[in-house]
Structure 1
Amino acid sequence: MASANDIKRLTRLSAILLQLQTKRVVSSGDLAEKFNVSVRTIYRDIRVLEQIGVPIASSEGKGYSLAEGYKIPPIMFSEEEASALITAGQLLRLNKDSSLISAFEQAVNKVKAVLNYTAKEKLELLSTRVAVSPVHIEPATSSSLALIQNALTSFTLLRIRYQAEGKGDTERLIEPFAFYYSGQQQWALIAFCRLRNDFRMFRLDRISEVYPMEIKFAPHQLSLQQYLEEKEKNFLSSDKQLS
């Protein structure tokens, strides 16, 4: 019979595999911190995974990654995890972008496909017992979030038509950088605008047209946290000048 330590190690090995599957590179230090073990223990775990046939590539000074082209069999979802997705899917209807709802529903269908019959029946029951008041559901005001997300992660330019507040339509060439939720179910796209030669926030409901461009741009070294801190600093500075 497996000991508690054996079970704990098997659980950790599975979790390390999940980290390798979901991230491009994972460092031994990050893994050690995440699982509260020593770096030496992580080295031993990686060797065990290699011995059972998992092709792990190591890069000195960077970390570990799965060999290009290697696929881990689909991960089985627990009933609790699948149920959380069903509930989240209902809450997602409060957002104002139709493409996000569609993509999420497709993802949930894929989750259902790997569940056993009993879990599927429970999930179908749950989906009929969770609802959001129609009073709070507003018509979708955008349908481009999924397209913009793809451009953001692929570092490709977008050409958009934008209705600025109190101004007419303008055509912009932008480099998508990040998304920002400003409240009132309102999402904004932070992007470097080549027309203004600076970062700008574009409300998704004011982007009337989006055209993907097959032109790459260099990833910005600025992090989202740095951008937000700088924006807050500028706001406080201007507020002091007004007072």
Structure 2
Amino acid sequence: MDYSEVSRLSRLTAILVQFQTKRIITATELSEKFQVSKRTIYRDVKALENAGIPILTDEGKGYTLMEGYNLPPVMFSEKQANALILAEQLVLNSKDASFVKDYSEAIDKIKSILRFSIKDKANLLADRTRYNQVINQERNSNNLSDLQNALTNYNLVKIEYINKENSITTRLIEPFAILNSENWYLVAWCRLRKEFRFFRPDRIQKMEILSEKFEPHNMTLQEYFDKYH
């Protein structure tokens, strides 16, 4: 097998990984990522289809995998596994309990698909880099995971919020973005104030994710900062 064949095989495998990580992906995105022409991407997608991968073309949007089709688990390299284990330490520093719980469960699932030799090394690394004071530190909120879900599903959220003057108000908010700078912050459209506001999850006294949907705010985070800051 010559270099060009190895290179193409590597690219086909990498394209499969992209299909696992994004619901819809365009030929332009793939060509830019792999530094090849769109014509080459078209040939690669055709090759994957011929190999039995059920790739659907959504006209005007891009490619997507048939719903319900699952590719075999991605095999992480040793360095990639190590990076994920070390990233766990950053997550363990989070002050939100739900975020720590969800990430830790995700790491356990990732470990379950690692090859035995890499799994043993990953567990060794985790044991040697984990600090009790980080694991056991006090968490001041437990709602970040639900807020993330509301953000991605455009669910209206009802909260009882206490501000820095200790005044409590009931708000209906439309989650837009989640930021971190020492504390977690939620950027949301507040229907009471009729403007975007910053909310600290640890100041939310009660929270209810409503079934009612809101219209998505069609702008990027950078566009938000450019417009409002």
Question: CA shift at 1:59, angstroms?
Answer: 2.3
Aligned to 2:226: 229
User: What is the percentage of aligned positions where both structures have the same residue?
Assistant: 45
Q: Tell me, in whole angstroms, the C-alpha distance in 1 between the residues paired with 2:71 and 2:110.
A: 16
1:113 aligns with 2:106: no
Question: CA shift at 1:13, angstroms?
Answer: 0.7
Q: Tell me, in whole angstroms, the C-alpha distance in 2 between the residues paired with 1:135 and 1:92.
A: 10
Residue deviations 1:120-170, cap 9 Å, x none? 221221111114583898511111000111111111111111111214111
Aligned to 1:178: 177
Structure 1 pair 116–136 and aligned structure 2 pair: CA distance change class (3 A)? closer
Runs of 4+ in structure 1 deviating by more than 6 angstroms, as ranges, are none
Q: Tell me, in whole angstroms, the C-alpha distance in 1 between the residues paired with 2:84 and 2:134.
A: 23
Question: CA shift at 1:117, angstroms?
Answer: 2.2
Q: Tell me, in whole angstroms, the C-alpha distance in 1 between the residues paired with 2:23 and 2:151.
A: 17
3-state SS, counterpart of residue 23 of structure 2: coil
Q: Tell me, in whole angstroms, the C-alpha distance in 2 between the residues paired with 1:123 and 1:101.
A: 18
User: Conserved in 2, the CA contact under 8 Å of 1:173 and 1:195?
Assistant: yes
Moved more, 57-66 or 104-113: 57-66
Output the amino acid matched with 2:201.
Answer: L
Moved more, 86-95 or 153-162: 86-95
Q: Tell me, in whole angstroms, the C-alpha distance in 1 between the residues paired with 2:220 and 2:99.
A: 24
Aligned to 2:85: 86
Moved more, 43-52 or 222-231: 222-231
Aligned to 2:141: 142
Q: Tell me, in whole angstroms, the C-alpha distance in 1 between the residues paired with 2:136 and 2:219.
A: 36
Output the amino acid matched with 2:20.
Answer: Q
Structure 1 vs Structure 2 CA RMSD: 1.7
User: Conserved in 2, the CA contact under 8 Å of 1:79 and 1:119?
Assistant: yes
Matched residue count: 229
Structure 1 pair 41–194 and aligned structure 2 pair: CA distance change class (3 A)? same
Q: Which runs of 5+ in 1 are unaligned?
A: 233-243
User: Conserved in 2, the CA contact under 8 Å of 1:94 and 1:137?
Assistant: no
Aligned to 1:241: none
Question: CA shift at 1:60, angstroms?
Answer: 2.6
Structure 1 pair 117–21 and aligned structure 2 pair: CA distance change class (3 A)? closer
* Structure of larger gyration radius: 1
User: Conserved in 1, the CA contact under 8 Å of 2:158 and 2:209?
Assistant: yes
1:8 aligns with 2:4: no
3-state SS, counterpart of residue 36 of structure 2: coil
Question: CA shift at 1:176, angstroms?
Answer: 0.7
3-state SS, counterpart of residue 202 of structure 2: helix
Q: Tell me, in whole angstroms, the C-alpha distance in 2 between the residues paired with 1:208 and 1:7.
A: 57
Output the amino acid matched with 1:30.
Answer: E
Question: CA shift at 1:231, angstroms?
Answer: 2.5
Output the amino acid matched with 2:96.
Answer: D
User: Conserved in 2, the CA contact under 8 Å of 1:164 and 1:206?
Assistant: yes
Question: CA shift at 1:36, angstroms?
Answer: 0.3
Q: Which runs of 5+ in 2 are unaligned?
A: none
1:95 aligns with 2:77: no
Task: Choose which of 184, 198, 215 in structure 2 pairs with 1:218.
Answer: 215
Aligned to 1:122: 121
Output the amino acid matched with 2:28.
Answer: G
3-state SS, counterpart of residue 216 of structure 2: coil
Question: CA shift at 1:61, angstroms?
Answer: 2.3
3-state SS, counterpart of residue 218 of structure 1: coil
